Structure 1
Amino acid sequence: MFLISDLCALLEGYLEPDQVAEIYRAYLFGAEAHEGQKRLSGEPYIYHPLAVARILAEMRMDAPSIIAAILHDVIEDTPTAKEQIAEKFGNEVAELVDGVSKLTHIQFESKAEAQAENFRKMMLAMARDLRVIIIKLADRLHNMRTLEGLRPDKRRRIARETLDIYTPIASRLGMNRLRLELEDLGFAAYYPMRARVLAEAVKKARGNRREIISKIEIALQERLRQEGLEGRVIGREKHLLSLYKKMRSKNLSFNEVMDVYAFRVIVDKVDTCYRVLGAVHNLYKPVPGKFKDYIAIPKANGYQSLHTALFGPYGVPIEVQIRTEEMDKVAEAGIAAHWLYKTGEGGGVSAQARAREWLKGLLEMQQSAGNSLEFLENVKVDLFPDEVYVFTPKGEIMELPRGATAVDFAYDVHTDVGNSCVAVKIDRRLMPLATRLANGQTVEVITAPSARPNPTWLNFVVTAKARANIRNYLKNQKRDEAIGLGRRLLEQALADLEETLLMVPHERVVAALKEMNLASLDDLLEQIGLGNRMAPLVARLLVPLETASPEQEAGSRPLYIKGTEGAVVSFAKCCRPIPGDAIMGFLSTGRGIIIHTQNCKNIADYRKQPEKWITVQWADLIDATFQVDLRVEVTNQRGALATVAAAVADADANIDNVNLEDRDGIHTAINLTVAVRDRVHLARIMRSIRALDKVVKVGRGRG
């Protein structure tokens, strides 16, 4: 069990005594805040923050990061507020703790939305201070190490989230050592059986491979000595998840994947890297097209190395990575290398600069994302880049994900360039905008001021920035179009009242907007354009009819249909709709809105005038009766009508009209017009009639 004394002993190796004392004070504060809380394993909760602090101490993170790690759950899980932390440990620590804390006090529509919003908050906090994500990754690593106490479904959910979000972020920030452990733990929790089988297979295969690995290592070491080059040669083992992914993606058997032998050569300086490359190419033949120079063009996360593939002894494939000590440190620790090795102006700083550049892009993206789920989807796209490098016409290198198109390139240059691109030249030849880019191509974007993004671009763009900007533009365009349509519909409706929008007094517009709880006229026009409000009703609200009789005033009669305040509403006699029926509204000149049932036979005649149809709904509370036609077939006996009338009365309804129809001498059809409250009341009346001996059939009349 890791205790505070162990943490202090670890910290004394690189922090000042007064900083260690401050961390101890933070431990006492955290232990008191979490007093009585336990983890699912049964141990006191404070052990978790201590373990997170230890992971950061092993990275040699600064004192505020360690304090924030110890306190990272106090805002979320205890009554402690951010202000208290700021008062005791300063604003810097309070901001870090707040950045790592989840949004627990806001209600979300779904768990997915809550997770997405938490992620969005974390990324924005991370943009302010990179240490937020380092603390979060350490927190996730300890949670993954202690998953045993959870239910299997919860374990799988957390493992999925780790593999989908946190390992790619660790990779994007170059924190390779932490990423590999997260991947292995995530794989074991998500696919326990596959991980176990694969681990056993690797263990068996390791014995057979030892001799070949040793032989290649000695040969590489000997060649370096002959060339007078200093360097360490290390045999690399593939991790379980990377083995599994390779087997899945390339459809290979375990033996085929394990046939590849991987080595790393670590040297003193960059110049030596290229000399070592020449030496190993002389020793074993290189595989054509498999050489990658990440020293000249580093990866997005600051990773630098030379990669090559060779035909080894007995024809076995060999993968070799060649890098300097500095590059190796950055490759393992990424942005944390800045704190871990105090690398000065070297790789740690460069990795941080690249991380900040990435985060700047994320900030732009989140401003144009519609909601947290869309932002999370965009970031996921951005977290899985397999880079392709292309050139601008001026010779600058642009880095894009594998599969990126000319449109992705245009948006990467600038949002305005993407929004107005009309054509592209690749290596001086005109090519379609959907063309996928390849390494080394020179790309020139041709723009036009009047050009606009095309919705079909969403079918082929791959970068999150392009996708977010196209969606944002289309969203705004949809609003503009809806406002334009709404304006035309409202002007048309006002024209029927011999008015125009300009003639309506400003005070009347403001009052109407207030009544409808809308902020601006554009919002009202958008609602009309989208079909959420009816133009004739809005027109009636803006231009009240002075001639309307008191019975027609909205406030003096019950409201049967939602949103029809101030309008004349009548119910069609052909289908006699009642509350509970599926209904449609038809705008009729001089008669207002006529309500029909959706299966009314007369609707077919009105289909030719779709602009006059409006979607309507029954009001929530209706205190009124509605006439409905019933057709009852009875055996031709004395007293049949009286019996049916009595059954209707027993069901608490009145008969407004009766019509008898002699059908064949045996049966008589009784057509009733009955006053009912709604469909439930009608069903009760029909059940009451159907229960009579004399009744053969009862159904609703259709006019």
Structure 2
Amino acid sequence: MAENFKQILKQLIINNPDVDKELIEKAYKFARKKLKNRKHFLTKKTFVSQALSIIKILLPLGIDNATAAAVLLYYTVIYTKTSLEEIRNNFGNEVAKLLAKLKQFKAYEANVASPSAEEKLILADCKDVRLLLIKLAKGLSYLKCMKGPKERRVLFAKRALEIRVPIIYKLGLHFMKAEYEDCIFKELDPKTYKSIKSSVAKLPIVKKLPVLKKMLEKRLKEVGISAKVYSRKKHIYSIFKKMQRKNIGINEVNDIAGLRVVTDTVEHCYEILGIVHSMWKPVLSEFEDYIASPKANSYQSIHTTLMTEEGMFEVQIRTKDMHLVAEYGVAAHWRYKGIKEHKDYEEILQRLNRTITWNGLLQPKHIAESIKDVDEPIFVFTPKRDVVVLPNGATVLDFAYAIHTDLGNKCKGAYVNSKMVGIDYKLKNAETVEIITDKHQKPRRSWLDIVVTPKAKQKIRSMLAIKKRKITSKKKQIIEIKDQKNIKIAKCCMPLPGDEVIAYKSKKRKLIIHKRNCTNLQKLPKENLVEIDWKGGRGKTFLTEIKIEGDITVLPEVLKIITVNGNKLKATHTRNFEDRYVSIFTVAAKDKNVIENTIAEIRKVPGVVSVERA
């Protein structure tokens, strides 16, 4: 067995003790037998070696059995006649599913014409985070060892810069960022890359860094503070960008060399800050406390620049949790542990997929938190590919209000990944959202049940309060409705006895009853609005609508609940939105209480995601 594989397998087990050693060895041997010594055209490495390069990139994440096996077997499925059925029989359904998706992506990739289309294609399968990470790691493995004609290498590097790097930035996958950028920079501007790299290696402070590291480690041990000290050098492309941005030379970049200290508590962070300031002279103008004032992307750390005879160096001090955020970006907020402790792995996987936890499953368990009761943000894109961060469960309406209040007030729906959806559609990670507006649209009270963000709720309540002040009848008397023949029920809002209502006196002297929060009241003459006392009538029923979101299997139970509660089903309309169904039931009900009881029972049905009066 190749020595490189043995080393990688050993590290796999260290990072994830649950790795099935026999399964990974079996996949490695299977791939070697099928692929023999066939080589990849872009890197000139054997396919098996290329697969090991991909795994090596993913090692810090503590990848699971299926991910490691799928990577090892990837080229076997792509470049030999090995069937997915054979993979399934030998390595299980989960590995086969990953490979089926990766093979599908490979087939589509050949037909993609534009960078934007390829970007969407890369994100298309990210319901399972492992697919996204394999795709990005595969791209990086090619960049690191490309061979062959320069034109081909440059073209691949440019595509990576246009497509994969923006994805890494947008989704917070910072653990790949530095290597991607340096590899691309090296390919596109090799002369400048080589010059900066050579200059960095010659800097006295860089040569001094190992000594500084040992000095700090010794001091922390003396004072009894538990911490790990890492030496770090700023990556080449980042140095280049700083030189360009500030119009300075390499000797003026103060943070090329540095130490990173990772400790247990915030208190220790500040103690360590005092220690390093006592050991070396601080440059106070270069001090930043991102623990007290985190960056917008949740980054937290203390940055301090220190003076030595050899030059300046930077020390970054942070806790372990802060280190995760810094290394993995905002994605590090999705942290899970103890997957093996949960009996139903598939259920956990589905929950992760619903929130698209970018590196949740693949995190080493010692750096994670419990999966239970975690409600983390999602990332969605505007049509211009700007990122909007929203809480998990946010809807199209939340997105609209996050962009602008007027956009929210006029929101009628949206195109999500080019598919039309309603305002109550729950957004998922990496979806692109384009809001559809209607100048006649107005906020409704029912919208409060759709949105989850405080901003959206506050804006809707504010608009409803304005409307409520406007809808004040000049008639002081309250008319008691006794004769149902003289009334009509507004079809726009379908009020029921028990709702807060108001009536509009039509030209034919009929009273048209609306819900008090009905937006159409704004279009009616105020002098024709009258207060009423409406209690319905004996044996009388009134039409209303119930909107239910869930999977198709809930329909029989929902229909049973509607009829058992004394309602009469008049019509139903169901629409399919990718992985869910939205059904509108038109029912005849006695009053508001009956409908509310019906809705309460429907909410208990497994598979029902949401239910409300439409």
Q: TM-score, normalised by structure 1?
A: 0.46
Partners of 2:397 and 2:285 lie apart in 1 by 32
Q: What letter matches 1:244 in structure 2? A: F
24-33 vs 2-11, which deviates more?
2-11
Q: Counterpart of 2:399?
A: 415
* Per-residue Cα deviation, 1:524-577 (whole angstroms, up to 9, x for no partner): xxxxxxxxxxxxxxxxxxxxxxxxxxxxxxxxxxxxxxxxxxxxxxxxxxxxxx
Contact (CA 8 Å) 2:200, 2:206: kept in 1 or not? Answer: no
> Which protein is bigger by CA-based radius of gyration?
1
Q: What letter matches 1:51 in structure 2? A: S
Q: Counterpart of 2:354?
A: none
Q: Counterpart of 1:134?
A: 133
Q: Secondary structure at the match of 1:414?
A: helix
Map 1:16-31; keep pairs closer than 5 Å. 19-31=20-32
Q: Counterpart of 1:308?
A: 303
Map 1:307-326; keep pairs closer than 5 Å. 307-310=302-305, 312=307, 319-325=314-320
Q: Counterpart of 1:191?
A: 189
Change (3 A) 1:297 1:411: farther
Partners of 1:239 and 1:161 lie apart in 2 by 21
Map 1:184-263; keep pairs closer than 5 Å. 184-205=182-203, 207=204, 210=207, 229-257=225-253, 262-263=258-259
Q: What letter matches 2:164 in structure 1? A: Y
1:280 offset after TM fit, Å? 5.0
Partners of 2:63 and 2:413 lie apart in 1 by 48
Contact (CA 8 Å) 2:98, 2:131: kept in 1 or not? Answer: yes
Partners of 1:98 and 1:277 lie apart in 2 by 51
Change (3 A) 1:353 1:183: farther
Partners of 1:340 and 1:42 lie apart in 2 by 31
Contact (CA 8 Å) 1:15, 1:63: kept in 2 or not? Answer: no
What are structure 1's unaligned runs of at least 5 residues? 386-397, 401-409, 424-446, 454-464, 478-703
Q: Secondary structure at the match of 1:72?
A: helix
1:61 offset after TM fit, Å? 1.6
Contact (CA 8 Å) 2:16, 2:63: kept in 1 or not? Answer: no
Partners of 2:275 and 2:19 lie apart in 1 by 51
* Per-residue Cα deviation, 1:420-462 (whole angstroms, up to 9, x for no partner): 7249xxxxxxxxxxxxxxxxxxxxxxx7559999xxxxxxxxx
Partner residue of 2:288 out of 291, 296, 306: 291
1:180 offset after TM fit, Å? 2.6
1:250 offset after TM fit, Å? 1.7
Change (3 A) 1:284 1:340: same
Partners of 1:247 and 1:175 lie apart in 2 by 24
1:246 offset after TM fit, Å? 0.6
Q: Secondary structure at the match of 2:365?
A: coil
Partners of 2:175 and 2:430 lie apart in 1 by 31
* Per-residue Cα deviation, 1:491-538 (whole angstroms, up to 9, x for no partner): xxxxxxxxxxxxxxxxxxxxxxxxxxxxxxxxxxxxxxxxxxxxxxxx
Contact (CA 8 Å) 1:99, 1:122: kept in 2 or not? Answer: no
Change (3 A) 1:272 1:156: same
Change (3 A) 1:279 1:338: farther
Map 1:350-429; keep pairs closer than 5 Å. 357-358=377-378, 361-362=379-380, 365=381, 378=385, 381-382=386-387, 414-417=398-401, 421-422=405-406
Change (3 A) 1:125 1:219: same
Partners of 1:262 and 1:74 lie apart in 2 by 43
Q: Secondary structure at the match of 2:366?
A: coil
Q: Secondary structure at the match of 1:98?
A: helix
Residues matched between the structures, number: 393
Q: What letter matches 1:27 in structure 2? A: Y
Q: Counterpart of 2:267?
A: 271
Contact (CA 8 Å) 1:309, 1:317: kept in 2 or not? Answer: no
Q: What letter matches 1:415 in structure 2? A: F
Partner residue of 1:180 out of 161, 178, 181: 178
1:154 offset after TM fit, Å? 1.6
Contact (CA 8 Å) 1:267, 1:324: kept in 2 or not? Answer: yes
Map 1:331-342; keep pairs closer than 5 Å. 331-332=326-327, 339=362, 341-342=364-365
Give the RMSD, CA atoms, in angstroms.
5.0
Q: Secondary structure at the match of 1:61?
A: coil
Change (3 A) 1:255 1:110: same
* Per-residue Cα deviation, 1:268-320 (whole angstroms, up to 9, x for no partner): 323211333455567755646952425874764xx754233446468976533
Q: Secondary structure at the match of 2:96?
A: helix
1:23 offset after TM fit, Å? 2.7
Larger relative CO (CA 8 A, sep 6+): 1 or 2? 2
Partners of 1:254 and 1:306 lie apart in 2 by 24
Q: Counterpart of 1:63?
A: 65
Contact (CA 8 Å) 1:57, 1:66: kept in 2 or not? Answer: no
Q: Secondary structure at the match of 1:111?
A: coil
Q: Counterpart of 1:605?
A: none
Q: What letter matches 1:262 in structure 2? A: G
1:99 offset after TM fit, Å? 3.5
Q: What letter matches 1:293 in structure 2? A: Y
1:473 aligns with 2:436: yes
Partners of 1:68 and 1:110 lie apart in 2 by 24
Contact (CA 8 Å) 2:255, 2:314: kept in 1 or not? Answer: no
| Higher normalized strand content (fraction of residues) | 2
Partners of 2:25 and 2:255 lie apart in 1 by 51
Change (3 A) 1:263 1:32: closer
Q: Counterpart of 2:120?
A: 120
Map 1:478-493; keep pairs closer than 5 Å. none
Change (3 A) 1:413 1:263: farther
Q: TM-score, normalised by structure 2?
A: 0.51
Q: What letter matches 1:142 in structure 2? A: S
Q: What letter matches 1:145 in structure 2? A: K
Q: Secondary structure at the match of 2:74?
A: coil
Contact (CA 8 Å) 2:28, 2:72: kept in 1 or not? Answer: yes
